[in-house]
Structure 1
């Protein structure tokens, strides 16, 4: 079984120059989430507490065996704080879609512009096709939000450590455990823009994921 899901291109033409310039240049695109195939069995997970806010936002809860750890400091600037929070919600919504095994899950669509929606759908499809769902601890940290030119958009970047995140077979419940390596460390860059319909909602417009990032390994 392959160590990871099929690679899916993550630099989704922003006007590609906008995102890549904001990120400081082009990068090595290795955007696939880690899938670690069969191993030891596990119990069927129970649902964790919902992260739905009750203000019309979708449920992005995940099972209790999947821990999404967003170790982000809240920016003092309100716009930056909103963009970082909804970048987190986009990732949560993507994971929610994988857990639900639903490439058309409405949760990620709520937090996405067209390109980011296509990315999320392709990631979910890869997991569904392989018959896998995530388990373990997925750690995101070192979030920053910076303006993009003269627009209202913000570029949110953060690191990911997936060394303790694994794939569990939907059919058998078995987990594949793989030793930690540089492959576990990624850097995410999400181009965030405020929604025209809801001033409190920021949507991910574009996403780029760099693989094997030494600075995220610590």
Structure 2
């Protein structure tokens, strides 16, 4: 469930699941000094784990083009890395800095910290669909996609209470992301902009 942006709180309503799941989007941040991405020195990629009761489902994983498929795969891992940080209650997870860089990383950290400060996490399932890739040169790409948060909900860690909010147009979010391939060959998300309630993503 990405919301800041990747998601602060989408509508300012503490009882809303509209905490966009992708940290950083819509914050308008221009952080002059972004946290540096601590990519693993080895070729191994960090393992991302979710607790039971939560799931991100990514559609449109195959485009027929190997490069675009690699971009889509790392884009999904970027989303998952932010959610893993929320579940672990930490902004220093290995995956967060591995799959995100620049503005996307700094906004993701701010987003995750918002969940930590509020004592929240989320449960349920978020679906990502209509994912499209546009390549720009050899090492830059743009990915747009929609998210369906109608089946994911904010959960208060201390009490275990789940805030079951009704599905509205704001349960659907349009994302525009920029990715850059680093020296290790990882397509890192470097910028994210979201539009909650976008008509393009409505069912």
Q: Establish whether TM, by shorter chain, passes 0.5.
A: yes
The answer (yes or no) to whether the contact 2:132–2:143 under 8 Å persists in 1 is yes
Residue 189 of structure 2 corresponds to residue 204 of structure 1:
yes
Kindly state the Cα deviation for residue 5 of structure 1 after the two structures are TM-superposed. Answer: 4.0
The answer (yes or no) to whether the contact 2:15–2:165 under 8 Å persists in 1 is no
Cα distance in 2 for partners of 1:72, 1:168 equals: 29
Q: Please name the residue that 2:63 is paired with.
A: 75
Structure 1 unpaired stretches of 5+? 14-53
Which of residues 162, 173, 183 is equivalent to 2:160?
173
Cα distance in 1 for partners of 2:130, 2:19 equals: 25
The answer (yes or no) to whether the contact 2:142–2:177 under 8 Å persists in 1 is yes
Please identify the structure whose Cα radius of gyration is greater. Answer: 1
Kindly state the Cα deviation for residue 152 of structure 1 after the two structures are TM-superposed. Answer: 2.9
User: What is the Cα-based RMSD across aligned positions, in Å?
Assistant: 2.2
Deviation per residue, 1:91-133 (Å, 9 max, x gap)? 0000000000102222110011121111110110111111111
The answer (yes or no) to whether the contact 1:190–1:208 under 8 Å persists in 2 is yes
Q: How many residue pairs align between the two structures?
A: 176
The answer (yes or no) to whether the contact 1:185–1:213 under 8 Å persists in 2 is yes
Deviation per residue, 1:24-55 (Å, 9 max, x gap)? xxxxxxxxxxxxxxxxxxxxxxxxxxxxxx95
Distance 1:140 1:10, change over 3 A: farther
Structure 2 unpaired stretches of 5+? 1-13, 31-41
Q: Please name the residue that 1:185 is paired with.
A: 172
Kindly state the Cα deviation for residue 11 of structure 1 after the two structures are TM-superposed. Answer: 5.2
TM-score (norm 2): 0.80
Partner SS, residue 192 of structure 2: strand
TM-score (norm 1): 0.74
